Structure 1
Amino acid sequence: MPLIKILIIDEDHEYSISLCNFLTHSYSETFAVYYCKDLSDINNSIKKTEPNIILSSEKYYSEIKKYTNINLILLSSLKNPETTIKTDYIFKYKDVNQIAAEVINIHTATGNKTYSNQGKNTKVVSVFSAAGNVGKTSLALAVSSICSFTGLSVFYLNLEQFQSTSIFFNNNNQYSFSDIIYFAKEKDKNLVTKIPVICSKENDSGVHYFSQTNNVFDIKEMLPEDIDFIVTAIMDCGYYDIVMIDMDSQLNENTMKVFEKSDEILYVITNEESCLHKTRLFIDSIDLLSKSFKNKAYLKNKIKYIANKVSQQALLSDKFYLEQELMSQIVYDSNFPSLNDLSKFNGGSAMILNSYSEIAGRYIKNNMEGTV
């Protein structure tokens, strides 16, 4: 069932219908939206829909306020009107995604609790390497986009300190990942419902994401419990099939928390000696790292190795179009040093796949079979 019922009351019927249709289409997991068709019978419309929130234009706001205690928000045609200093209001002619976010914030700020649908069995996939510049972000973005193109609902979460999210996605949201970190530190229980509303959605691929942090130091302020809170909230909102986590190359407590939350870890390696050396050190530490898991899961059983023979990563366009040559840049090289020994070190089978699409195909297939 939808979480928040909204009734729109505005004399501009075209505006009401447009806002109603957008919120219904884009936020069906969060809102049930109605509009008052007969403005002469507003009272009956309120009784019939029993809304949690009423969005009203100036013309009807004062009258509605007299006979209902329902959370009433003014849809103002003016920015920062002096007459509404003590009134919850939203400027009606702004981006509709921002209107949705402000509705959530006003609703929860008054003490209302919202709950998730628990609608999907979300799979968490993290992308990691002990070495930098091996193609982690290319892999995470490509697999996310391919899965989204095929109909899966995908959330891309970038936990790198120096993020490149704004290069690949348009940051058209007033909220950034810095805001999410703040909500996590405040242990905002309504973050579960806020996420589908305050995150951004890439127009071409349909991948959901948080706009990058306001500064690089915000990521450094994150604690393992903050990461746990955020990833759990994304999973619990019941909207996403896959959460793809793009990780930093550091091995610390935050990294271990991501590993713990992950169903699968894609470890990217190249045939450069420095990468192989760091990977060997990582593999030697797997058993020790596994023992630190609170859930006693075996870390080595989660890791799938991705061999990337490309020494220089192909540049991605700012819209992230999946060109054919881009989709085939991850390949297996039979002369790759130490690849044949990876399965022995790992304690499980290494995953050496031919392309981004083949990697994504595993998740698409699992989803079709109901095992994601």
Structure 2
Amino acid sequence: MIVLKVVLVSKERDYISAWLDYVQGNSSGLHVRFTAFSQGDSFKDHMKEQEGRELPDLVIAEPEFLNDWLNNGGEVSGVPWLMLSEGMEEVDEAKRLMKYQPLPALLDAVMHACRQPRRKKVHHPGQETLSIGVVSASGGSGKTAVALHMAKQLGLAGYAVLYLNLETLDSTLPFLEKGLTRSGQRHPDAETGLSRLLYDLKVGRKESGKQLQVQSKGVDGYVVRHEALKSDVFWPLSNRKELLQMTREDTSNLLRYLTDCGQYDVLILDGDSGWDGRSEGVLDAADAFVWLVEDDISAMHRWGQWLQHAERTKPDLYESMLDRSRFVVNKYRDNVVNVLPRPDLHLDAVLPYIPSWKQLSQEEVMLSSPIFQREVKRLCAMLVQDGEEELKQTGRIQKQDRWAL
């Protein structure tokens, strides 16, 4: 079970007691743990102690306490907050929590605010294409299923999407083979598209000493449209050696080319879970990550080991990767029973377990689960709206939001 951690600050001790008594006697209170303060110094000391540890999911405070905290580092901490207000303060209505209202309404407001995803930085190297890597510390976590569903939902929402699978052993062909044709006919050129693009990029670098210049044709000669996925894809490589020989630089150059060609709003990157060159290239280049983990003790342990190794051997990449990651429990069943491997981690979303996928026999089954599509759509909206908001703020994109949440 995910327990939300909330800090409540009010100078009225009776008010605090009423909150805590209600929460303890309410079933929803099982999902929330309150830490309450009536003095500003104690509140500030508590927040300083949490730095570098597991931060709270929400701070609710009266104006005098809240403003002091925000002005002294709270604004950049990433912790969501609500002002406990009597209606006289100048504050965004979305951030105002009226102090005197029925306790059930107050608790509902707290639960809603805690569920709002924390905004994370989305790193863009100067382009308008958002690249999203779907990663995991262990195989079998459902990376490909999630990546395919993300591509489909983004395509349905009107985005131009390219799905790129960089797994050593590509698991998509059984699900996508029927759609990897144009007008129902085989196209041999498309079947060698990724291989030819990798070759052209290498030749271009050797001849010019730099990355191949983007041609006017972009990637049209390399990709194939998959109508069921509502996205462009590369036909899976048949020669495993080509993938095994891909270096970190090869991967970075490929992703840069796909980004700079200007044909796509979103790239969905699906790769291996190891430490090879392709994986490191994706970790370098992606603007955001959907980091999948299963709720079992072995998966949590592997997640912790992966992060520990990254922190020890590649500290700069580790910090950047965490900053770009959304941590998502896949195959979720009612509650999370295992402890996360580190106290500074928190879950951003969950995706449901779909029992019928155990007996998959055709691609339509895997791509057409309404429950899974709904939750993936929410996840996509979280990622894409964060990315577009940053691009709008920097003046690099002018788009209307396409998600109705």
2-structure distance, mates of 1:199, 1:205 = 13
1:365 alignment counterpart:
385
Of 366, 376, 399, the residue aligned with 1:356 is: 376
Question: How much does 1:230 deviate?
Answer: 0.7
**2:240 equivalent in structure 1:** 216
Conserved? CA contact 1:161–1:216, under 8 Å? yes
Change (3 A) 1:350 1:152: same
Name 1:195's counterpart in structure 2. Answer: 219
Deviation at 1:123, TM superposition (A): 1.0
Using the size of structure 1 for normalisation, the TM-score is 0.55
2:201 corresponds to which residue? 184
Is 1:149 the counterpart of 2:169? The answer is no
Query: By how many angstroms is 1:149 displaced?
Result: 0.3
CA distance in 2, matches of 1:200, 1:125: 20
Match of residue 266 from structure 2: 242
1:226 Cα offset (Å)? 0.9
Report the TM-score when normalising by structure 2. 0.51
Please list the CA deviations of residues 71-112 of structure 1 after superposition, one character each: whole Å capped at 9, or x if unmatched.
xxxxxxxxxxxxxxxxxxxxxxxxxxxxxxxxxxxxxxxxxx
What SS class does the counterpart of residue 162 from structure 2 fall into?
strand
Counterpart position of 1:205: 229
**What is the CA distance between 1:289 and its match in structure 2?**
4.8
Give the partner amino acid of 1:361.
Answer: A
SS where residue 186 of structure 1 aligns? helix
Q: 2:143 maps to which residue?
A: 136
Corresponding residue of 2:134: 127
Which one is further off, 273-282 or 148-157?
Answer: 273-282
- 2:197 maps to a residue whose letter is I
Provide the residue aligned with 1:41 in structure 2: none
Q: Go from structure 1 to structure 2 and tell me whether the alpha carbon gap of 1:332 and 1:365 turns closer, same or farther (over 3 Å shift).
A: farther
Q: 1:298 aligns with which of 315, 320, 324?
A: 320
Q: 1:152 to 1:129 in 2, by over 3 A?
A: same
Q: Determine the structure 1 residue equivalent to 2:283.
A: 259
Give 3-state SS (helix, strand or coil) of 2:301's partner: helix
- How many corresponding residue pairs? 228
Determine the structure 1 residue equivalent to 2:299. 275
Q: Deviation string for 1:298-340 (max 9, x for gaps)?
A: 22212221101x3xxxxxxxxxxxxxxxxxxxx474333114x
Give the aligned CA root-mean-square deviation in angstroms: 2.7
Structure 2 unaligned runs (5+)?
A: 1-124, 182-186, 206-211, 352-374, 393-405
Stretches of structure 1 that go unaligned for 5 or more consecutive residues are 1-117, 311-330
Identity of aligned residues (%): 20
Q: Could you say what secondary structure the match of 2:219 adopts?
A: helix
1:198 offset after TM fit, Å?
Answer: 2.3
User: How much has 1:197 moved relative to structure 2?
Assistant: 3.4
Whichever residue aligns with residue 352 of structure 1, its letter is A
